[in-house]
Amino acid sequence: KGCGFCSGVCTEGNEDGPFGDGYCPEDSEWEYEKCQDSMYGYLSVFFMVAYLLAFGIAMGPLPWTINSEIYPLEHRSLAVSFSTATNWIGNFVVSATFLTISSPSAFTRYGAFWLYGGIALLGLGWLFFALPETKGLSLEEIEALFRRPGDNTMTSGMSSAQRELMAKFTVAAGGH
């Protein structure tokens, strides 16, 4: 048994062509033994593992850390659950659409990665300008950063008894 490329897909075959009908369109070229073991396959696995390690150590935890800081305390649990759901819906959309988008009849594999990479770069650009630095700030200062003009914190979702209790715990914990 051998393998080769037909229309950008590695499939089993021999010198005469791929095994089975329908694997190779009439107008495409059969390239035998072009997908044998090479160092490029091992390099791609190495760089994928290196990416996963670097992402898990550096960028991976950031959304969860930022989510735990930016929402007001009385809305934090609901807001973090919405953020988590949005994250998983985005993961589902990418995994559900990748095979369709990466097909030769759509964007191809290269086009799919360029599309997702372009969307990621647009998001990075937006975050760079829209997300303020929160390093060294208390949770109250971070909450003030995200408060919009006209937000009335006295009539938020907490009752007056809850606000008094929150103020008592904040002072007891050394807050303002």
pTM over 0.75: no
pLDDT at res. 86: 92
C-alpha 155, offset from chain centre: 36
Terminal CA-CA length for the chain: 75
Q: Does residue 11 carry a pLDDT above 80?
A: no
Quickly state the pLDDT bin for 66 (edges 50, 70, 90): confident
Give yes or no for a contact between 1 and 20, defined as CB atoms under 8 angstroms apart: no
Q: Distance between CA 29 and CA 23 in Å, rounded?
A: 11
155 — pLDDT class (breaks 50, 70, 90): low
Q: Rounded mean pLDDT of the chain?
A: 80
In the predicted structure, residue 35 carries a pLDDT above the cut 70: no
Q: Compute the average pLDDT of residues 101-128.
A: 89
Q: What average pLDDT score do residues 67-86 get?
A: 87
Torsion of CA 96, 130, 56, 52, to 10 degrees: 50
- CA proximity to 143, closest of 64, 70, 65, 63: 70
pLDDT at position 69: 83
| Of 9-13, 80-84, 172-176, minimum mean pLDDT range | 172-176
Alpha-carbon gap, residue 117 to 130, rounded angstroms: 20
pLDDT score for 18: 75
pLDDT value, residue 70? 85
